[in-house]
Amino acid sequence: MIVPSLAALAAAASSPSDPAVILAANRAAVGTLPAKGAVELRYRNTSSGLTGEQLVRYDLATGAYAQSLDAAGIRNSDGFDGRTPWQQDVSLAYTPQLGGDRPRTAASAAYRNANAWWRADRGGARLALLDRDTIGGRAQDRLQLTLRDGQAIDAWFDAESHLLTRIAEQRQFFHDTEDYSDYRREGGAMLAHKVVTDPGLGAAAISTSLLEKVTIAPAKPLSVYAMPRGPLAGATILGGNSATVPFRLLNNHVYIDAKVNGKGPYTFIVDTGGHTLLSPKLVREAGLKTVGQSVSSGAGEGQARSASSISTRSRSAPCG
C-alpha cells in the first residue's frame, strides 16, 4: 500500500477545482492592462544559431498581430488581422496562409494576445482542469482550452504566483511548447521577460526571446496588422510582367535550370510546398556565405541540419 505524503495531500487539497478560479487568480497576478490599445514588444531573439531583433505588435482587444525577426540580414515576418493569417518568407514575398491549420494557429495566438480567457464567456473556449503538474520543482495548475475553431491549448499556471508558466499546442507539423519566466512589472502589468519556444526537434531548434522594451499606445486600425500589399521587393522580371521558363518533366517532377549568384546554370526541382534548398557544393561554387544553423523536417520522419546562405546579389536561402 502506497501512502501519499503530507505535502502531496496538502497540495491536492489546495488545488482549485474550478478553472475560473485559476484564471481569476492569473488576472489579479498580472495586474492592470487596458481593455484597448496597441502593444509593442521588442525582444532580443536567439534561434537557428543567429541573434537579432524580434518585434511583436498586437491589438489588446482582438489579439490581431504582426511580428518580425531580423538577424544577420535574414528577415521574415507573419501576422493576422483577425481574418487572414499571412507570412513573409526569407525571399521577402508575402503570402496568405489559409491552408491546413494555419488559420487555427493564428486564431490561437490572437486569443492569447487578447487574454480572452479572462472574459466572462472565455472567448468562446471550453475549459477543462487537468491534473496538477510540476515544472522546475514548482506546482502548476494545468488547464486545457478548446477554442471555437477546435484548436486545443494546454496552459500551466504557477500555483503560488498564479502567473502563466507554459503553453503547449499543435502548430502545423510540431507540438510546440512556450515557457515564460523572469516576470517583471511593466507599467501596471507583470510581463514575462524570457520566452523559450521548443518545437520538439532538439536543442538546435529552440528559440529564446529576451524582452528589452515595452510600449503600450492607443489602439490602431486592424489594417495595421494585415498583410502588406505591394510589388515584390528584390526581384524583377526583365522585359515585362511575365516570362517563359523552359522545364523538363521527369518522373512527374518539374526541373528547371537557373543561375545562383551569377554562377551556373544549376538544375533545380520545383516543389511548391518546399524550401529553396541549395547543396553545400553549390554554395561553395556560387561563392555564398552561410550563417546560423537550423533543423529542417518534412522529408520523411528524419531531420536535417541546414544553414542560410547570403549574398549581396541574392536573397537568403537554406542550404543543407
* Single-letter amino acid, residue 315: R
pLDDT top residue among 236 and 213: 213
Q: What are the residues facing 269 on neighbouring strands?
A: 255
Residue 225 grid coordinates: 496588422
Domain spans of the chain? 15-225, 248-319
Q: At the topology level of CATH, where does 15-225 sit?
A: outer membrane lipoprotein receptor (LolB), chain A (2.50.20)
pLDDT at 305: 60
Integer Rg of the chain from CA: 23
pLDDT at 309: 56
Q: What is the mean pLDDT of residues 123-144?
A: 95
Distance CA 36, CA 44 (A): 26
pLDDT at 314: 44
Contact 135, 141 (CB under 8 A): no
Asked if the model's pLDDT at residue 8 lies above 60, the reply is: no
**Closest-CA residue to 162 (of 143, 186, 148, 149):** 143
Question: CA geometry: angle at 199 spanning 160 and 102, to 5°?
Answer: 105
Secondary element (H or E) of residue 259: strand 253-260
Backbone phi, then psi, for 63, in 5-degree steps? 85, 0
- Find how far residue 316's CA is from the centre of its chain: 20
How much of the chain, in percent, has pLDDT values that exceed 70? Answer: 83
pLDDT at 279: 78
Backbone phi, then psi, for 256, in 5-degree steps? -135, 160
Cβ contacts of 271 within 8 Å, gap of 6 or more: none
Distance CA 198, CA 206 (A): 5
- Average pLDDT score over the chain: 86
* pTM to 2 decimal places: 0.81
pLDDT at 301: 60
Asked if the model's pLDDT at residue 298 lies above 90, the reply is: no
Question: CA geometry: angle at 207 spanning 70 and 284, to 5°?
Answer: 60
Distance CA 12, CA 26 (A): 19
For 238-247, the pLDDT digits (tens) are 777 788 889 9
pLDDT at 315: 47
Query: Taken in order 30, 36, 37, 42, is the CA torsion positive or negative?
Result: positive
Asked if the model's pLDDT at residue 220 lies above 80, the reply is: yes
Backbone phi, then psi, for 9, in 5-degree steps? -65, -40
Out of 7-16, 85-94, 262-271, pick the least confident. Answer: 7-16
